[in-house]
Amino acid sequence: MKLFFLLSSLDLTQPFSATPAWWQLLKGLYEIGVEVIAAPYQGPAIETLWWRAEPNAAKLPGDAFKTARDSLRKIGGSPSFRPDAVSEGESLVDKAMRNTAHAAIAPLWTRQIDRLLAKEPDIDAIVFVTVPLNHITGLARHIQEKFHKPVLYYDGDVPASLPDMRGFATGFRIYQGADLSEYAAFITNSKGGEPRLLELGAKAAHTLYYGADPDVFSPVSVPKDLDVFFYGHGREYRDQWIEDMIATPARALPEAKFAVRGTKLGDLGAVESLPYLSFSKLREYACRSRLNLVITRAAHAGTYASSSSRPFELASMGCCMVANPYLGIEEWFEPGKEIFVVSSAEEAADRYRYLLAHDSERTAAGEAARARVLKDHTFRHRAGQLVQIIRQYLD
């Protein structure tokens, strides 16, 4: 099988949190024998051992568009601008930027993909991954009508990306003005999101969860000099659980060493903030800690089986995980054996205290979690599942 991917980004230095997952998914496809061609919607094209890169068809206008969008959103926050002025569920700024992108950027991608498919007719299918749907309205229909190739869309941000959610402050509103019916099928990270995509007009919906590459996220032998560690960015949609699982327990357990790595996490008192340094350093931080926290944002935690990367990454490293309530977590890990779930600040402090005092139980949970990843949740598993989905739409 030969696939072309148009992805939101391939640049690990940019603030697109899912980009490491896309690297692992494309690597997994290579490992099962799929030929992969990949191009970024934002930023530079990056070639690796696992895929061939096609250039960003609209890099210069895309960079200019991003700069203009960010500037307009900053203006939108000023008192002289009405950010609450909306049209069809989106701000007027978002609508203006969407129309600009559709006029200036979509034609460039149409021409580039036309050239690619004419040059390489053996490409079996095209997959768009978290690119703004409403920037490229009509492109999927054009490809399918002209080249008779299925085009699928993978939204890895469900449910936060859906129009009935507020989305993230820094993100696009991707569904307003889009036509979901032009795609052969939608793929989502969320089992609970499938029916919502069908209601929005998708012809078919499938779920492909996040996972982890166990070669990338593998345990490292380092001294356990941290007790409780959390890695994540922002309090958005998880403010209360950051208080209940970090700030409050840290005050209740002054003898324990709490640490975080992230930005915009607020005032956490005496909790240590670790420097970023490098992607590989994050693995070291997690493996240094006796306990690792999974604090999932409310939209994901409250919509059934809405996967995110962090539980799979931590499990793959053999970490002992403690999580806030997460609807559908049993789809991936067994609570009480492979992950521990707490429902209050008091329960969090009690659980930390118990696990920190029982090394064997903590170690057993981490080993069981890694074994579960190796059995069910590697990105090689996900690559095989994606191929099975795509095969349904091949002639």
If asked whether residues 345 and 384 sit together in one domain, one would say no
Q: Find the domain containing 304 and state its range.
A: 226-377
Q: What's the token pair of residue 347?
A: 């329960």
Q: Is the pLDDT of residue 233 over 90?
A: no
For residues 264 and 201, the model is more confident at: 201
Domain of 38: which CATH number?
3.40.50.2000
Task: Report, as an integer, the average pLDDT of 266-276.
Answer: 91
Residue 262's pLDDT band, with cuts at 50, 70 and 90, is: confident
Q: What's the token pair of residue 12?
A: 């690990």
If asked whether residues 183 and 299 sit together in one domain, one would say no
| Amino acid at position 374, single letter | L
Determine the longest span between alpha carbons in the chain, in angstroms.
66
* Residue 220 within any structural domain of the chain: no
Residue with token string 């590459």: 213
Query: Taking CA 171 as the corner, what is the angle to CA 169 and CA 175, rounded to the nearest 5 degrees?
Result: 115
pTM of the predicted model as reported, rounded to 2 decimal places: 0.91
If asked whether residues 176 and 271 sit together in one domain, one would say no
* Residue 323 within any structural domain of the chain: yes
Each residue's pLDDT tens digit, 334-387:
999 999 999 999 999 999 999 999 999 999 999 999 999 999 999 999 999 999
Q: Is the pLDDT of residue 25 over 90?
A: yes
If asked whether residues 194 and 239 sit together in one domain, one would say no
Look at residue 78 in the predicted model and tell me its pLDDT.
Answer: 35
If asked whether residues 183 and 232 sit together in one domain, one would say no
If asked whether residues 277 and 175 sit together in one domain, one would say no
Query: Taking CA 244 as the corner, what is the angle to CA 333 and CA 296, rounded to the nearest 5 degrees?
Result: 40
* Residue 129: closest CA among 59, 52, 183: 183
If asked whether residues 59 and 132 sit together in one domain, one would say yes
Other beta carbons within 10 angstroms of residue 207's beta carbon come to 20
